[in-house]
Amino acid sequence: MYSVAPSTITDIGLLTTLVVDDEEPVRNTLQRFLSRIGHEVVTAGSASEALAEASRRKLACILLDMRLPDGSGLELVQALIQREPHVAILMLTAVNDAHTAALCMQRGAMDYLVKPIDLPELDRAITRALAHRREMIEQAETQAWLQREIVQRGAELRRERHNLERISVATLEALVNALEAKDPYLRGHSARVADLAAMIAAEMGLGDEQVEQVRTAGRLHDIGKIGIRESVLGKHGPLTTEEFEHVKSHVMIGAQILAPLTHLREVIGFVRSHHERPDGTGYPDGLSGEAIPVGARIIGAAEVYDALTTARPYQDKMTPEEAVNRMRDLTGTVIHPDVHRALAGVIARRGALIYLDERESLD
């Protein structure tokens, strides 16, 4: 098998034909004839010379003797087509070589002519082969163009879909902000929960995509409060049983609002379950332990932390360290131990200062 380096020569539009034959008189006759009918002609007397010529220039057509001193035409057909996929190869065979010529055509030669060559017949065969070559080139160009179009359209569609997804989330976030803006004690709550939850998620070693899902869920976790009566939402005293049941419905309402946004499947699960508790006493499904999605566990803890560190009419705010200590007492019942460990790490190492700074600028 011959190996040929890939070509770097570009098609300059000339119809160059290579004549490969070990007999010089045959080469000369063919060269004269082809020149007369408008071809630029190069010749080779052996397989190695043929490959050298093929590496040197772009060939449209090759007349290839089946028997060469240094190799068979059959092997050479493959090497030449590997070098120039659409080249029109016509085999020149002796009468008893018809079987091998057929094999050459299976490997990509376009035709074969039996020696001695009838020149008008050669002219017709070359015309047919070059027309076939043009068709193949056009087909390949159309195919390549189609593939480029498909790739480009696919990328555009992905960009558009991503933009729409981003806009839909941003719109919902704006709704949450509007809802929280009415209540000075809630203002910025979801944004703070989102940032802290994302830090906890990263501390727990979750992947980038999951961290962003947790952040998004943090921003949207209380969107269902849109469906809660303002008199209950704004009440600054203990809630009646009926009122508490009504408030609890915000997780289901939130999941319903987000349900059409199919790209938020994980996020919706986190929103729905952010009031579940490890001991199974949470809502809406009474899930416990590991059955609670990890993002929901994190948001639940971040929400408790935010409540403890926010001043309320009925409660002074705790320092971050006090809140972490208080929450330690709640591990296993309200807070998952692994989430608490990560929260303590975030607050102790770097979270406290950043978080406090942000709180100060928001207050």
Q: Which is nearer to Fe ion, 97 or 222 (CB)?
A: 222
Pairing of strands 61-65, 67-68: unpaired
Distances (CA, A) of 274 to 3, 148, 238, 306, 345: 64, 45, 21, 14, 21
Q: Of 210, 300, 298, whose CA–CA distance to 251 is shortest?
A: 300
C-beta closer to Fe ion: residue 195 or 222: 222
> Residue 135 belongs to what H/E stretch?
helix 119-181
- Write down the least CB distance from residue 147 to Fe ion, Å: 49
Residue number with CB closer to Fe ion (41 or 176)? 176
Closest distance between Fe ion and the C-beta of residue 300, in Å? 8
Q: Which stretch binds Fe ion (CB under 5 A): 58-66, 147-155, 216-224, 228-236?
A: 216-224
CB of 145 to Fe ion, least distance (A): 53
180 binds Fe ion (CB under 5 A): no
In angstroms, give the least distance from the CB of 294 to Fe ion.
17
Say which DSSP state 351 is in.
Answer: I
Tell me the window of 2-10, 141-149, 180-188, 219-227 that interacts with Fe ion (CB under 5 A).
219-227
The minimum distance between CB 155 and Fe ion, in angstroms, equals 38
Which of the stretches 70-78, 87-95, 218-226, 289-297 binds Fe ion when contact is defined by CB under 5 A?
218-226
Of 97-105, 188-196, 215-223, 283-291, the window that binds Fe ion (rule: CB under 5 A) is 215-223
Determine the Cα–Cα distance for residues 63 and 77; give it in Å rounded to an integer.
11
Q: Judged by CB, which is closer to Fe ion: 126, or 223? A: 223
Shortest distance in whole angstroms from residue 172 CB to Fe ion: 15
Coil, helix or strand at residue 112: strand
Largest separation between any pair of C-alpha atoms in the chain? 111
What is the per-residue burial (b if ≥16 Cβ within 10 Å, else e) of 126-152?
beebbeebeeeeeeeeeeeeeeeeeee
Q: For Fe ion, which is the closer residue by CB, 45 or 300?
A: 300
The letter for the amino acid at 59 is L
Which CB sits closer to Fe ion, 179 or 294? 179
**Which residues make Cβ contacts (< 8 Å) with residue 115, sequence separation at least 6?**
26, 92, 93, 94, 95
Q: CB under 5 A: which stretch of 96-104, 155-163, 220-228, 333-341 binds Fe ion?
A: 220-228
Contact between 222 and Fe ion per CB under 5 A: yes
Number of residue whose CB is nearest Fe ion: 222
Q: Whole-number minimum distance, CB 295 to Fe ion, in Å?
A: 14
Positive or negative torsion for Cα 98, 101, 106, 112: negative
252 or 352, CB closer to Fe ion?
Answer: 252
Report CA-CA distances (Å) from 76 to 111, 126, 150, 190, 331.
15, 19, 36, 72, 77
Read off the tokens for 13. Answer: 């539009």
Non-local (6+) Cβ contacts of 261 within 8 A are: 165, 168, 169, 268
Min dist. Cβ of residue 303 to Fe ion (A): 6
Q: Binding segment for Fe ion among 11-19, 209-217, 221-229, 304-312 (CB under 5 A)? A: 221-229
Nearer CB in complex with Fe ion: 165/183: 183
Applying CB under 5 A, what is the total number of residues that bind Fe ion? 1
Residue 36 burial (CB < 10 Å; 0-12/13-18/19+)? exposed
Please say which residue, 100 or 310, places its beta carbon nearer to Fe ion: 310
- Of 113-121, 214-222, 264-272, 311-319: span binding Fe ion (CB under 5 A): 214-222
Q: Note the residues at the interface with Fe ion (CB under 5 A).
A: 222
